[in-house]
Amino acid sequence: PSAGFTTQSISGCSGVASSSGVNSYSTGAVAADCTVSATFVAVVVPVNGACGSANGVASFVAPSSNLCGAGTATAVSSADDRFFAWSCNGSNGGTTASCSAPHQYTVTASAGANGTLSCASPVNGGATTTCSAVPSSGYVTQRMSGCSGNPTASGVNNYTTGIVIVNCTVSASFVAMGSLTVTGTASPLTGGSVTCTPTTVPNGGNASCTAAANAGFTFTTFSGDCTGATCNMTNITANKAVVAGFAAVRAFAGTTATASGAASMSFTGGGNTCRVDSGNTAFVAAGATNATGTFPHGWLRLRLVGCDAASTVRVSITWPSLTGTYLKYGRTPTSAGASVFYTPTNLTVSGNTVSFDVKDGGLGDSDLDADGVITDPSGPLQITPVATPVVPVPTLSELALALLGLLMATVTFANRKRLVRLTA
């Protein structure tokens, strides 16, 4: 065979045809001119997928070139805030390579008057960075905060952010030595922000603070040097520290995607900052079909963020009605990357409400990453009844009915003659 080909078969002249890959052949007994024929086919070589030069290279945007060194690239996913992910699929039975690139974010330094601030940027998603403040002569750093880090006290010039998964800003303020300060802190830090005006007051001055909740949180109350729903301070004679409390949103409600009625969800567990990602949680049409039935209410596509890594939450969902069974859909630790239907963990049903457990990074969390983000599509399945085939009852034709009647008449006549002989 030529390079890249293999012998498929050899036959002719009364010999036994050879199998694929055999290159020698013996004819049968030759008693006349005859022909031996050989066919050849291309050798199929498996191609393994391999990541391209974009693999591992940090980027602000999803890479679009040099994704694969070999194989076919899938769409690039940014579902995980820390990195972009894609696969390079092999061919002819070759393997698939999983590839990723760190997602970079910008940390912006914002310094108030009478000082400077610098931050190390950009930052790979999921990492922290540091900032340094330099107050002007006669001033002191009052406070540094932002990017989910712990706010600093007066006089501290170095700052470390929290884990960065979005573009964010670190701010620094400076005050003249001897001034009184008013600082505000959010609890938890990811719950929202506190703005105090002014932040520097003379002895006997006034100040007020307001709170703003981040997405997924609600404001609860002020504490520290302010209490209640509002914060207005007068005749300040000492430094003031105000804390604004926020509570994670742990419920969601809406109308089903099929317009079958109202539905609602709530959950427990997952830590103080575990909350509903309202921008990515919705009642949606079923994202896949199931051979045993239909989803009369569609699915709830639930996404929780800010949860403790590897924590377990207990989810309860009330639907307009429940019949059949309840299924989740997504990847599992044993599904080899494929999305499948399966029964939720510790499923209970009470009326129209289902409850079940989901573990971050485990069964029930479709992204299978213990990263504090839980992705969980599910819905009630109504089983489609299997139709029983109708078997027709055989009937006799008119000719058969006539023959049957003649037979019965003959039997009856014979019985009468026998009866007459017995009584004679």
Distance separating alpha carbons of residues 221 and 244, to the nearest angstrom: 6
The whole-number pLDDT of residue 406 equals 73
> What pLDDT digit, counting tens, does each position of 256-312 carry?
999 999 999 999 999 999 999 989 999 999 999 998 999 999 999 999 999 999 999
User: What are the φ and ψ backbone dihedral angles of 411, each rounded to 5 degrees?
Assistant: -65, -45
Give the CB-side neighbour count of residue 346, counting CA atoms within 13 A: 11
Identify the segments of the chain with pLDDT beneath 50.
Answer: 419-424
∠ CA 366-268-298, nearest 5°, is 50
Query: How far apart (Å, rounded) are the C-alpha atoms in residues 2 and 42?
Result: 9
Residue-wise pLDDT for 173-189, tens only, equals 988 877 788 999 999 99
What is the percent of the chain where pLDDT is above 90? 69
Other C-beta atoms within 10 Å of 306: how many? 21
> In the chain, what is the greatest distance between 2 CA atoms, to the nearest angstrom?
150
- Please provide residue 75's backbone torsions phi and psi, each rounded to the nearest 5 degrees: -65, 145
Helices (runs of H) and strands (runs of E) counted in the chain: 1, 34
Q: What is the pLDDT of residue 388?
A: 61
Q: What is the pLDDT of residue 44?
A: 82
Q: Are 117 and 130 in contact (CB under 8 A)?
A: no
At 206, phi and psi to the nearest 5?
Answer: -120, 155
Torsion sign, CA atoms 53, 61, 306, 186: positive
Peptide bond into 102 cis (omega under 30): no
Of 76, 82, 81, 79, nearest to 64 by C-alpha is 76
Question: Residue 376: which residues within 8 A CB-CB, separation 6 or more?
Answer: 302, 303, 304, 315, 328, 330, 358, 364, 365, 366
CB of 181 closer than 8 Å to CB of 173: no
DSSP state letter for 81: T
Instruction: Please give the model's pTM, rounded to 2 decimal places.
Output: 0.55
At residue 360, the pLDDT reads 94
Whether 115 and 133 have beta carbons less than 8 Å apart is answered as: yes
